[in-house]
Amino acid sequence: MHSLQQLKSQLLSYHAGILGEEYVKKSAVFIPLVEKDDGVHVLFEVRAHTLKQQPGEICFPGGRIDPEDASPEEAAIRETSEELGIPSSVIAPITSLDVLVTPFRGIIYPVIGSIPHKNDYPLNQAEVDHVFTVPIDHFISHPPEQYRINVHFEPGAGFPIERIANQSAYQKSTRQITESFYYYQSYVIWGLTAKILRHVITILKPS
């Protein structure tokens, strides 16, 4: 039998994390700021059209956190260096942003920082079709359009729905997810990239 003092000792030595994080994919992305003559821009990638996942979609540099990465920031810098073809020494992180916990894509750690402006980045063409930049003031003055997606509760085979109190409410359950859409020229920025971008603009937008 445990005493309350023993339980308190165990609890006080525990370091809180994110529940279930050991079972999900963990990724890091880098939000690259580029200083140009007309102000600070945000750089985006257009994913290679040959990729199996999300070909041709717009994203920030980034990817899975490897066991060898000392931190999410290190992973974000490594991925940015590999995808844009620039040395990690010229990638200057500023700070980490809010961690994004997603229902389908695991946990994402965003890092914002700066990279040097280049007219032609030596891209990894296997992953990146091309890059483009958008003045950050454009996003401040053009808020995103927002739309809702309905997500339905659908039990899998063998799920013991009959054991749940008020099971009829779950069988008819629908949840809504809000998606943001930013537009610039012919580009459409949405999904997790837009969610992270909106977080950035919320921080930087004058109150």
Angle at 111 between CA 29 and CA 120, to 5 degrees: 65
Domain ranges of the chain: 22-204
Q: How many Å apart are CA 37 and CA 33, to the nearest integer?
A: 13
Q: What are phi and psi for residue 201, nearest 5 degrees?
A: -65, -35
- Of 146, 137, 127, 53, residue with least CA distance to 84: 127
Predicted local distance difference test score (pLDDT) of residue 207: 67
- CATH architecture of the domain with residue range 22-204: Alpha-Beta Complex (3.90)
Provide the whole-model pTM.
Answer: 0.90
Q: pLDDT tens digits for the chain (207 residues)? A: 889 999 999 999 999 988 888 889 999 999 999 999 999 999 999 999 999 889 999 999 999 999 999 999 999 999 999 999 999 999 999 999 999 998 888 999 999 999 999 999 999 999 999 999 999 999 999 999 999 999 888 888 998 988 988 887 777 788 888 999 999 999 999 999 999 999 999 999 876
